[in-house]
Every structure is written in structure tokens, then in C-alpha cells.
Amino acid sequence: MTAVDNTPVGAGTAGPDRGTSASGPRPTRRRRPSNLLLGLAGLTGLLAVVQILPATPLVSARYLPPATEILAALVDLLGEGRFWVALGDTLTAWAIGLAIAVGAGIALGVLIGTVPLLRALTASTVEFLRPIPSVALIPLAVLLYGTGIESTLLLVVYAAFWQVLVQVLYGVQDVDPVADETARSYGLGTWARVRHVVWPTALPYVMTGVRLAAAVALVLAITAELVIGAPGLGNRIAVAQTSGAVPLMYALVVVTGLLGVAINLVARAVERRALSWHQSMRGEVIV
């Protein structure tokens, strides 16, 4: 009978040096470029395309100026006081509308989700109202509030509210019934169960809803300002377009795009911070 060697691998013997093997040095793993570098490369390519296209017969420079003219208009724009006022108006409408939508969505979502009777009574209403495009409410907003910031808030709140509410309902529905029954057996009241059982389960859904609502709120804020004429970046874009200031118009569009990227990065950072304990974030690598 052959004896079995139970000695752990490498015990009592000197193993090969790290990075080498019996057949020679191990191949070095090639490092993949970071997402930041890839993003910068894509942005550089886009700028190159915008710079070249106006010089070709495909696009007229009258409607798409070269990237250099757009960037020059953007630099000039940053020195205007009116630009910063418009940016502040847009961010104010966005922040207030998002705060109202998130607060109402979380409160109603937890209430409806934890009371089966309310869930049954409101299911058809939610499914009917949720698909209605917020843009379809523009005539109503103008009729009620004119071109003031209230019109923008109405559209922003309506659009962002459903993003949060639906996610919260999914999160509450995902609560483990065994954990809920265990909490009941230990005598926990409704508020205690919501705090210790429902909320930890629903929080990942809540953060997803907040992140989606933040992006949707910005889109609706710009749209309302563009169509209704409410003060903000959208209004400045409309004025630049009607006055024939094409480079300025594109510069303002670039600002709205950068604003959207910044909001998304902030929302991602807040989500990672709030869910640092969650398993979905433990393996996430931030590049």
C-alpha cells in the first residue's frame, strides 16, 4: 500500500520565487486601462469628430460649428453673471423638486407597501398614472402657474416621484417574510419592524430610485425651462437658438451634459456610502 503524504504544500521546502515557475518566469498580467482613461479617450474622439464634421459636406458649419468655436463660447459663457444665475435657477428647481419627490416617494412607498389593503387599492392607480409622460402635463403646468418656477417643480416632482415610489414598493415587497414574522414574535411594533426589518431591505431599492430620480429631475427641469420659458439653462438655450447664437447654444448644451454627469457621479458616491455595508458594494472597485 502506498503511503499518503499529508504534509501541506510548501511545508519544509523552499517554493519557487514569486513570479517564476518550473518552466520559467510567469507571464506578467497586462493591466487594463482605467475607466477614466477610456472615458477621456472617448471624449477626445467626440471632440475630434465635431471639429472635423463642419469641414466636410456632411454637415454645415452654420448648424454645427467646430469644437474650437463651441469651447471658446463655453469659456466666454463662464465669465457671464447671467449664466451663473440661470445655472442657479436650474439647480434650485432640480433640488427642490427632487427633495419633494424623494420624501413623498419614500413615505408613501413604505406606507403602501406595508399595508396590504392600501397596496391592493392603489395598484391600478399607480399603473395608470406612472406611464403618463410628464411633458404631457406642460399645458396644465402653464395653466396653473404660468412660466414661474412652480411649473418646473410640478413637472420635476411628477416625473421623479414615480421613480422613487416604484423602487420603494419593490423593496418593501422583497422583505423576507420569515424575518418579519420573527420580529412580530419578539413583540416589535410597526415602527420598529419598519426600522429594523423593512428599511434595511428596501434601502438598496431606495438608493436606486433616488439615483434614477436625480437624472430624471434634471431632464424635466431643462425641458420645462426650454418649452415653458421658466428661468434657467433651458430658457437660455431657447433664447440662443432663436437669436442665431449657435456656438452659444451648443456651449449651453455642453453645460447641461456636464451637469448631468456631475449629478450622476454624486448620486453614485452617495449610494456607495449609504450601502457600504451591503454585499452588492463589497466587491465594487472604484477606478
Tens of pLDDT, residues 136-169: 888 888 888 888 888 899 999 999 999 999 999 9
pLDDT of residue 165: 94
Per residue in 62-77, pLDDT tens?
788 888 888 888 898 8
What's the CA gap between 269 and 286, in Å, rounded? 10
Per residue in 16-48, pLDDT tens?
444 444 445 555 555 556 666 777 787 788 778
> Which domains, and CATH codes, for the chain?
64-275 (1.10.3720.10)
What's the CA gap between 102 and 206, in Å, rounded? 9
Residues 246/63, Cβ–Cβ less than 8 Å: yes
Residues 171/205, Cβ–Cβ less than 8 Å: yes
pLDDT of residue 197: 84
Could you tell me how far CA 212 lies from the centroid of its own chain? 5
Closest CA to 67 of 46, 42, 83, 41: 46
Cell of 4: 499518503
More confident residue, 280 or 146: 146
Cell of 271: 449610494
CA angle 95, 260, 218 (to 5 degrees): 40
Non-local CB neighbours of 35 within 8 Å, separated by 6+ positions: 287
Compute the chain's Rg from CA coordinates.
27
